[in-house]
Chain A
């Protein structure tokens, strides 16, 4: 038997839950309206800021005299963001003009607190600013940020450091690539590209010779930012010592020079198919007439991708005509190889 009192209690609880829901609904709606109002205020403020600073920076860059107003604390990050954006577009003397304006604002002294801010976005803006200013006094702070856990601020700090002292910055970057798997690949590439091969080569080569196979897999793709002769020499010495197929495949990718062909050919029969795919791919790019025969042999490889890449490479070889490809196709007993070659012939004839 279920008691009436118990039932009454359930109904009371339900009533209160319902009433609470309605009160909360109304409160949320008020919050939504307040948020919308705050959004309008923020948008108006941003518009006012841009209306003041955009023409001012543009006038200064074309040499017109400008009065630099004070940047209020609430506009500080907006100013840094805009200033960095201008820096991104401009080079040479214009960069110096921007730096001069920056110093006039007095914000130079106020970058430390922004660098230490809890807001990652604000920190990133400050880091970029320090790099653009080439402000050596922030070196120590940048170094601390560079070894921090946050991927964007740490790689951002390395980039800023590289702008201040290219050699020191690249040395630090290269020593960390193997273990900083959280850094976006393109961020690393950007820093290496900005520094140039002359700066990057010695550090990349030195690091590649001492890294573990796991770290090498991460580091090797960046070796293409080094000078070519140094790459081939280093890759050759790595290939002499490593067994890991992933490292071998990464090494082979870097050997797109005819002088390294003999090295590539050695891996034609490698047990790992990703290595054989690389071999097929490189032979197509830099191989000679002898290599065409090797590629024909690879058309009957046990792995589909090797056969596919070999057919693609054969079709890409400038000295193999459509008729030649057709003859190779007719010689194939394997239906998959014939299918792939049929596709390549069709592709070549429509290109």
Chain B
């Protein structure tokens, strides 16, 4: 679907993430970098799509830390820059983010972090990134909807240039992936090239660093913003509400439903904490409800401010608003009804007993085939390390293999630890993009510290889970230019692993045999299992008009053993009520793996009609 990000003027429906790009363009940003991660990915993808047409530079860097450094390099050179990633990406990038305020920037720099309360697309931990800006000495802006995404991004650049430090924007899933009508401003043609300014290196070195620290504290202490960023929605009574981000909209919705008209302080800048604004808001209140997702960050600050300003004020927060998962307006209604003594039965969620529908490998996915082949090749009690990517689904039935998932690139390090702490030989699964992102140090360590383990790299050539972005193995940059397609097996050889073997994911028997051989050998080994992401393969085929042969099950040969469906688990295979197995031709993507797992050769390509 075409996006309206570049629409000249008027109104457009934009996704929160697209609105951030629009805001950056209206601020004259011509330089951005990212590593994809849901719910932030569309920021990078939108930049990638339009960069050439507006004369901007965009790259998907090899990881978030590198992306941050790239954007910093631009900002040190007087070129405005934006960098974005999901919350776990901030963890990776943090080492390079924290010194940036010390060094200072010569042009506006904005860091966008997208949190995922409720973990819709985040297998690791539920995280609130609002603590980071405190450590990094940077202001934190929290837009609530696409309009604010655009406006706050534009504002963030002016704030960054005023303070000479980067500004952080934090969004959440329901902001990043909300779409709504946005009033557009004018796109500015900004600077794409600048001049590096020398003379700042001492600012991140002792002893100057300490003075710079004081300077930063002072800057943030004195910061105040206009009343469009932090504003009061007027109301009546001595009960007030303070809310941030999308929670503000839940508050408005809940008040409409409960027919309440309480004053609401909506905070857009939450660090440095706007003490004066809060003081003025709470001084005449008896009760204040703090509505924020996840941790009680604002609540603690309000409690501290209230101690001096209004010691009798009852600050109500996490006792009434959950500190886990995401909020909904119903949860806010419940809390509001309770503290205002309103008799109101909040609609409960109706839950029917239904079969679950967990995410799964796509039809024809090379990962399903590789998991299958490896499972056949190694002992039953093998510990399987997991990593971040589509293959995280190796944890779900029927694959049921992955024993742990920690963070990007962690499969190898943890597996190495398991190998050293047990007498077992673990197998670590890691995808290509994850390998380039943070998997190389782990692999080097297996050589350096004489590991006895096997790494299986699931090399599908794309950063698939987040929407098929390019990575160092793709052979193409984010802007569509040809570049080297790095071969993981060559990297393995350069790292001097004891064994490096390449297999074709779609040849199951051969893969099983090769894995078996390699697993027998001691030392650190790497299997690179190649098979392009089937979604991308099919998209290309469709576009070029190439028909991919689909498969069918011969009911005469089929013994109804169920291996293809209940054990292998391809979504194209189905079973009728009477137990007949068949392939849904609309879903089959012709990979042939099911034909290879069938013990009686009952599956074959559909014969062409004569």
A complexed with B: no
Which A residues lie at the B interface, using CB under 8 A? none
Which B residues lie at the A interface, using CB under 8 A? none
